[in-house]
Structure 1
Amino acid sequence: MTPEELAAVRCDLEDFAADVFEPFARVDQRRWGGVYLRGLLLDGQRKSVEPMAARLGEDGNRQALAHFITSSPWDPVHVRARLAWKMQDAIRPTALIIDDTGFLKDGEASACVARQYTGTAGKVTNCQVGVSLHLASDHASAAIDWRLFLPETWDASSPKADPAKVARRTKCGIPAGAGHVEKWQLALDMIDETRSWGLDIPLAIADAGYGDATAFRLGLQERGLPYVVGISSRVTAHLGSAVPSVPHYSGSGRPPTARYPDPAQSVKQLVIDAGRDAAKGVQWREGSRPGSGRSGLKRMYGRFVALRVRPAGREIRKAVDGPELPACWLLAQWPASEPEPVQFWLSDLPPHTALTTLVRLAKLRWRIEHDYREMKQALGLAHFEGRTWAGWHHHVTLVSAAHAFCTLQRLARAPKEAAPA
């Protein structure tokens, strides 16, 4: 960058910080919020307090930065709401994406650390897990809300409570009312929270970790929020054309339950029964690597099957009035080189929805991986070394702010000048 361009970026950052940190009650909180934000954006391998303080020059007051991020009494929700309003205008989101990411830890002292599965490591390991919610469109995305997942071992009311972990709750500053809540419920809570900020997002997207939970899909339906969610191959359903039979009822005793003539099958089997010839080729976007697309980039292309189905299961049956289970879309990716389909989604978008639309929305989830990569590799998302509940929420909120600033800078440039964070 030229000196003039660098000065313009600094001015943009000052304006951005003044807007995002406007809810802070005290001048010193606004000051250290801006300093911490600068520390996250400066080059450097570690983005924890001590190395950031060393890079910040005269603003590098380690003690003040540590106090601001760990124990200063500011509410991250206010900052997240400001970010959400700002990024909604910039991104013009088509969807809300829900996912979670792991924060690997060596010790046991940090809030909510436990041996648990995380896709970050691809295995069960010692970590924290954060659930996040992102605004997304085809050209940009931004994290706007977070929850720290509290495992059952940290919940005194759980049969799986670990006395040593429960005893650490006070030292970690975990609120007395915080208990174990499933990740899909945390996601629904965040959707409710963002709607209370005035955001109106037309669609929810999530992977199979959320889509497999029938209660999550029902929760989205109760909120009137359409979805495209990944599912595992073992989810069961009837074909959309299936019609239940209602046994004759004489009027005495409990009425008989309507039944489908054939048992529900796995979604994988339904797609296999439809046959390989049912798969159609779809290009959903162009990637970032050189290739044969119109812009000279690699085409993102695959073969997909779309079927109308009726998901089965006890939870769905309890939630339905009437004999018929509701119909929705089953989308499956079936590569020409594979003997069977490899990935599956459910969507309650209307029956007339085009295959290309279903595929584009299902594949929009790649934006969340893009966000996690930038926030972890460039902005220190997983570098927080504090051990408190409040400190974790403060840090991830400020990393989200730094990522949002980088996104705004990219959007403001010409496409040929756009660069990673």
Structure 2
Amino acid sequence: MNEACEELLGSLRRADQRRRGGQYLRGLLTATGRKTARNIANFGGTGASAQSLHHFVASSTWDWRPVRATLARYVDDGLRPNAWVIRPMVVSKTGVRSVGVRRRFVPDLGRVMSCQRSFGLWMASDARAAPVSWHLTLDGEPGGEADGRPDAPGEERDVARLVTEIAQANRTVARPVVMDARTAAVPPLVRALTAAGLPFMLRVGGELPLDPAAGRVQLGQRPQTAPAQHLMEQLKRLGRPVECHGAVNFVTPLAVVLPGALPRRTLLLMGVWRANRRRPADLWLTDLTSSGHSALLRLAMLTERVDSDFAAVSVDVGIRDFEGRSFQGWHRHVTLASIAHALRLSQDGQWCEYQVPIAG
């Protein structure tokens, strides 16, 4: 671990910062309970006070960006990922002291709550996944978005920028961006990813309006705009079985055009059925129109891979545990927790042997 810490924290200019970083990482990996500065310091073997650790994260001068670039190279070498996955993180907060906290509607819970909202950029393969960069939604604070909705103006560009910054820093191949975009503004998201040269695989809601591509499957006398759910339900009979991770799903493809996305181009809407359900379990929109159905389904399943590793690894190393008012401090903490996640996966260099089963 010492050698990996030296590599991952090598961009920190001062020896005392690298030492504090190593102490913080050991605490994230070994302390029990919430990974606060006090808990990390109280846990035997860190050799640092709670005040010094808090200062290192909240008030020190080191820049997290080059650390993340090094982390991305480290994860890329160990993981050999298939895609970038964007995953939101919502942390419930009882007060308003923590950075980025406000009352907002949380679609997954179906209610308004006081919380902190961010999203992480993950590198993911079939067997494992690790976060390498983060964006914190500030909402109405200086430099933040206009409101807390997932489709807040500019957030789609932030998604594309989050990926391109890491990709450019590491000169990596443009992998597909996989994301659950059911609550996002899909046309501007597609525009942002296309402008950045990033292929995409987006889970979309059934109400998304789409045009069947001319010259392809016709749903009447002529192609007409209809909700994605409606289009797929009419084509269920055309579904074909596709096996993925030991389970058989029925997949139906349809060439479509997304209204409002310029330039207009043919995309692929993929409906995925499980068991004998009348409605598809998932709807995916992608520009990977030449890829096989099995390959596309494996990409879609990477969101579940990320969810599993978030719950099994990231939460355990304290990704949700930062409490403070410092925007810089939040970014430093999640960067160090992301390093701890990668170190947990790569213990003894066994990236390939570590695997948390995908739930369900």
Please say whether Structure 1 and Structure 2 have the same fold, judged by a TM-score greater than 0.5. yes
User: Which of 206, 209, 227 lines up with 1:266 in the alignment?
Assistant: 227
Structure 2 unpaired stretches of 5+: none
Question: Offset at 1:368?
Answer: 1.9
Query: In structure 2, what is the equivalent of residue 384 of structure 1?
Result: 322
Cα 1:414–1:151 shift into 2, 3 Å: closer
Query: In structure 2, what is the equivalent of residue 164 of structure 1?
Result: none
Query: In structure 2, what is the equivalent of residue 173 of structure 1?
Result: none
The residue correspondences of 1:58-207 to structure 2 (distance < 5 A) are 59-118=47-106, 121=109, 123-152=111-140, 154-155=141-142, 182-197=154-169, 198-207=171-180
Distance 1:413 1:192 in 2: 25
Q: 1:223 aligned to 2:196?
A: yes
Question: Offset at 1:130?
Answer: 1.3
Aligned-partner SS, 1:365: helix
The residue correspondences of 1:329-344 to structure 2 (distance < 5 A) are 329-344=268-283
Distance 1:407 1:207 in 2: 24
| Native 8 Å contact 1:330 1:344 kept in 2 | yes
Structure 1 window deviating more from structure 2 (263-272 vs 35-44): it is 263-272
Letter aligned with residue 233 of structure 1: G
Letter aligned with residue 240 of structure 2: K
- Identity over aligned residues, as a percent? 27
Query: In structure 2, what is the equivalent of residue 281 of structure 1?
Result: 241
Cα 1:158–1:86 shift into 2, 3 Å: closer
Cα 1:419–1:44 shift into 2, 3 Å: farther
| Native 8 Å contact 1:101 1:119 kept in 2 | no
Question: Offset at 1:157?
Answer: 9.4
- Alpha-carbon deviations, 1:62-93, whole Å to 9, x = none? 11111101101111111100001111111112
Q: 1:327 aligned to 2:266?
A: yes
| Native 8 Å contact 1:96 1:201 kept in 2 | no
User: Which of 227, 240, 247 lines up with 1:300 in the alignment?
Assistant: 247
Query: In structure 2, what is the equivalent of residue 254 of structure 1?
Result: none
Distance 1:158 1:98 in 2: 18
Letter aligned with residue 241 of structure 1: A
- Alpha-carbon deviations, 1:217-244, whole Å to 9, x = none? 122122222111111111122222359x
Name the TM-score, length of structure 2 as normaliser. Answer: 0.89
Query: In structure 2, what is the equivalent of residue 47 of structure 1?
Result: 35
| Native 8 Å contact 1:212 1:231 kept in 2 | no
Letter aligned with residue 165 of structure 2: E
Question: Offset at 1:413?
Answer: 6.8
Name the TM-score, length of structure 1 as normaliser. Answer: 0.76
Query: In structure 1, what is the equivalent of residue 206 of structure 2?
Result: 233
Question: Offset at 1:189?
Answer: 1.4
| Native 8 Å contact 1:330 1:345 kept in 2 | yes
Aligned-partner SS, 1:36: helix
- Alpha-carbon deviations, 1:326-375, whole Å to 9, x = none? 21111112233322223211011134x21111211111211221232134
The alignment of Structure 1 onto Structure 2 pairs a total of residues equal to 348
Distance 1:128 1:213 in 2: 23
Structure 1 unpaired stretches of 5+: 1-12, 162-179, 244-259, 286-298
Cα 1:100–1:45 shift into 2, 3 Å: same
Structure 1 window deviating more from structure 2 (195-204 vs 25-34): it is 195-204
Question: Offset at 1:96?
Answer: 0.7
| Native 8 Å contact 1:375 1:399 kept in 2 | no
Aligned-partner SS, 2:75: helix
Q: 1:408 aligned to 2:340?
A: no
Aligned-partner SS, 1:232: coil
Name the one with the larger helix percent.
1
- Alpha-carbon deviations, 1:238-286, whole Å to 9, x = none? 222359xxxxxxxxxxxxxxxx955311111111121x3212222211x
Cα 1:26–1:209 shift into 2, 3 Å: farther
Query: In structure 2, what is the equivalent of residue 208 of structure 1?
Result: 181
Letter aligned with residue 305 of structure 1: T
| Native 8 Å contact 1:211 1:217 kept in 2 | no
Letter aligned with residue 269 of structure 1: H
Aligned-partner SS, 2:311: helix
Q: 1:394 aligned to 2:332?
A: yes
Cα 1:346–1:91 shift into 2, 3 Å: same
| Native 8 Å contact 2:87 2:121 kept in 1 | yes
User: Which of 266, 272, 284 lines up with 1:345 in the alignment?
Assistant: 284
User: Which of 294, 304, 308 lines up with 1:366 in the alignment?
Assistant: 304
- Alpha-carbon deviations, 1:82-122, whole Å to 9, x = none? 00111111111221111211121110122111112346755
Cα 1:414–1:358 shift into 2, 3 Å: closer
Question: Offset at 1:38?
Answer: 0.2
